[in-house]
């Protein structure tokens, strides 16, 4: 219980330990703690940023999907339109072709009729001459009556 | 355990005597063989057991913490690092709550006080006869009379140890006061409170009164700080010694008191630390 040099010895030891702690223990531990705190804060930050990014990406993906759907619908519509147009065009063409063919056939028929009429006319005139010869039993001078016959043939 | 069948008084006295090395008026520099010799040595003596245990425990604390500090990772901390970080954060929070000045010293100082005082107090939980008996055996091997080998294990039951620390804290209090407020501020604090008056003459009369009051307040800080720790641990140790004398029935009693004492030693270490922080905060803060 007597006060003695131990007191000073203890004070010196105390001072030494405090100095040691201040110099070699406290700073590294504190630094580690602070660095970890920062790391955790950064990690949380990154996580929230990542979730925000994800949200953004989802939104973008949805947007892209919507756009492409729209595009597809547009393309489909265009294709429909085009096919309708093509069908119309084909129909028109076919109609024109048909008309043309009909016209051509009609003119051909006309020509045929005219030619047949001419033939018929000449044959009838010849037949009339032959008939007249038979009737008259006399030879009619073809040259003499040719004009008459032609006139007849004209009238047919 | 001192000698053959010591009386209870002898037993207790033997347990409460430090292993003292000093300059005896008659025997010169030697280890004291009795309490009287130790007293006769006066101031120029040291308690080998107190210093040995306190420095040993301090070194243990330092080496453990230093080892962790060196390998401290910012990643996932392991077991010991977890513990060290827990202590450091606990002390850091206590300091931040109370001490608002800027100082690189206060936090490590508090950590050292808390851990060191706790470790020294912890020696109280070692059964009271184990280490002294061991010391007597070792002493006997070196040819000393076992009855004269004194060994007090708990450094904080030595008033020198606690006052050594509290006086260091006292020096820091004065240092911080002067650093923050200057010598005039320090003197002003001692003389201009608690009584003051706008009248110069009345103030002059108050100065000596204030000086006496404030000096007592100032001196009371380290004395109460040191004696509180000493008194608590000394009383606890004394009860351990008393329990140790009652034979077989000491076991449950010893256990109960030890469990209770776990609280006491932690609390005392914490109180010593907190009061140190509070005193230093008071020294730094302006009124």
Per-residue pLDDT of B1-44, as tens digits, reads 444 567 888 888 888 888 888 888 877 787 877 777 778 787 88
B179 included as an active-site residue:
no
Mutate which: B41, B64, B109, vs A, most A CBs within 10 A:
B109
Comparing A99 with B251, which gets the higher pLDDT?
A99
Give mean pLDDT, residues B78-98: 88
Check whether B220 has a pLDDT greater than 80. yes
Please indicate whether, in this complex, the C-beta atoms of A39 and B164 are within 8 angstroms of each other: no
> Would you call A136 helix, strand, or coil by DSSP?
helix
Residues of A whose CB is below 8 A from B77: 36
- In chain B, positions 190-219, which contact chain A (CB-CB < 8 Å)? none
In a domain, residue B3? The reply is no
Position A88 in a domain: yes
Residue A5 forms part of a structural domain:
no
pLDDT band at A95 (very low <50, low <70, confident <90, very high): very high
Mean pLDDT of A116-137: 84
Residue A4 within any structural domain of the chain: no
The answer as to whether A32 is a domain residue is no
Stated as kind and residue range, the H or E segment containing B180 is helix B159-191
The alpha-carbon gap from B193 to the nearest alpha carbon of chain A, in Å, equals 31
Q: What domain range includes position A62? A: 37-155
**B2 in any annotated domain:** no
Which residues in A have their CB inside 8 Å of a CB on B?
1-11, 13-15, 17-18, 20-22, 24-33, 35-36, 39
pLDDT interval class at B259 (50, 70, 90): very high
**Residue A55 forms part of a structural domain:** yes
Q: ipTM value of the model?
A: 0.85
Is residue B57 domain-resident? yes
Residue B39: what pLDDT?
A: 80
Is residue B120 assigned to a domain?
yes
Strand order in the sheet with B20-24: B28-31, B20-24, B45-47
Long-range contacts of A9-13 (CB under 8 A, 24+ apart): A9/B46, A9/B51, A9/B164, A10/B50, A10/B51, A10/B54, A10/B155, A10/B160, A10/B161, A10/B164, A10/B165, A11/B164, A11/B165, A11/B167, A11/B168, A13/B51, A13/B54, A13/B55, A13/B58, A13/B164
Number of domains into which chain B is organized? 1
Residue A139, pLDDT above cutoff 70: no
Q: Rounded CA gap, A39 and B92, in Å?
A: 20
Q: How much is the pTM?
A: 0.74
Residue A26 in domain: no
Instruction: Output the CA–CA distances (angstroms, integers) from residue B114 to B7, B28, B52, B84, in the order listed.
Output: 38, 38, 19, 12
pLDDT digits (tens, 9 = 90+) for A39-82: 999 999 999 999 999 999 999 999 999 999 999 999 999 999 99
B58: containing domain:
8-284
Percent with pLDDT over 70 in chain A: 93
Report whether pLDDT(B285) > 90: no
- At B109-137, the pLDDT tens digits run 999 999 999 999 998 888 888 888 888 88
Residues of chain A with pLDDT > 90, as a percent, come to 57
Is A84 within a domain? yes
Specify the range with the lowest mean pLDDT, choosing from A39-43, B60-64, B88-92, B139-143: B139-143
The number of domains in chain A is 1
Question: How does residue B228 score in pLDDT terms, banded at 50, 70 and 90?
Answer: very high
User: Is B228 annotated in the active site?
Assistant: yes
Mean pLDDT for A26-32 is 88
- The pLDDT of B218-237, averaged and rounded, is 92
In a domain, B1, yes or no: no
pLDDT tens sequence across A5-15: 888 999 999 99
Domain membership of residue A65 (yes or no) is yes
Mean pLDDT, all residues of chain A: 89
- Which of A1, A5, A14 lies at the smallest CB-CB distance from B46? A5
């Amino acid at each position: 219980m007597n006060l003695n040099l131990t007191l000073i010895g203890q004070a010196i030891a105390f001072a030494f330990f405090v100095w040691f702690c201040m110099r070699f223990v406290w700073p590294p531990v504190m630094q580690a703690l602070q660095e970890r705190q920062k790391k955790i804060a950064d990690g949380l930050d990154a996580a929230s940023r990542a979730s925000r990014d994800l949200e953004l990406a989802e939104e973008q993906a949805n947007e892209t999907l919507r756009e492409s759907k729209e595009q597809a619908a547009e393309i489909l519509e265009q294709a429909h339109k085009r096919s309708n147009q093509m069908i119309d065009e084909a129909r028109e063409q076919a109609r024109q072709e048909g008309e043309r063919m009909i016209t051509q056939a009609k003119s051909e028929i006309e020509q045929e009729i005219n030619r047949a009429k001419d033939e018929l006319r000449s044959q009838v005139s010849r037949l009339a001459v032959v008939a007249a010869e038979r009737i008259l039993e006399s030879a009619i001078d073809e040259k003499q009556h040719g004009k008459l016959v032609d006139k007849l043939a004209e009238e047919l | 355990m001192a000698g053959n069948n010591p009386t209870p008084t002898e037993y207790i006295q033997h347990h409460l005597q430090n292993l003292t090395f000093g300059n005896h008026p008659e025997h010169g520099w030697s280890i004291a063989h009795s309490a009287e010799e130790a007293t006769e040595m006066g101031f120029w003596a040291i308690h080998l057991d107190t210093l040995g245990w306190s420095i040993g425990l301090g070194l243990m604390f330092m080496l453990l913490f230093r080892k962790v500090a060196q390998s401290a990772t910012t990643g996932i901390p392991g077991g010991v690092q977890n513990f060290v970080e827990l202590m450091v954060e606990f002390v850091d929070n206590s300091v931040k709550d109370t001490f608002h000045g800027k100082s690189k010293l206060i936090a490590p100082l508090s950590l050292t006080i808390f851990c060191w005082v706790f470790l020294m107090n912890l020696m109280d939980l070692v059964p009271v006869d184990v280490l002294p008996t061991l010391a007597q055996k070792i002493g006997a091997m070196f040819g000393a009379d076992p009855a004269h080998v004194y060994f007090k294990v708990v450094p904080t039951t030595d008033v020198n140890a606690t006052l050594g620390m509290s006086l260091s804290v006292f020096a820091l209090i004065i240092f911080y006061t002067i650093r923050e407020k200057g010598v005039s501020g320090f003197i002003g604090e001692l003389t201009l409170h608690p009584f003051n008056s706008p009248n110069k003459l009345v103030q002059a009369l108050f100065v000596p009164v204030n000086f006496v009051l404030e000096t007592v307040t100032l001196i009371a800080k380290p004395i109460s700080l040191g004696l509180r720790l000493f008194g608590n641990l000394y009383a606890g140790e004394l009860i351990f010694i008393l329990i140790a004398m009652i034979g077989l029935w000491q076991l449950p009693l010893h256990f109960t008191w030890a469990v209770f004492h776990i609280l006491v030693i932690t609390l005392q270490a914490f109180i010593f630390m907190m009061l140190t922080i509070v005193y230093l905060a008071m020294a730094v803060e302006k009124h």
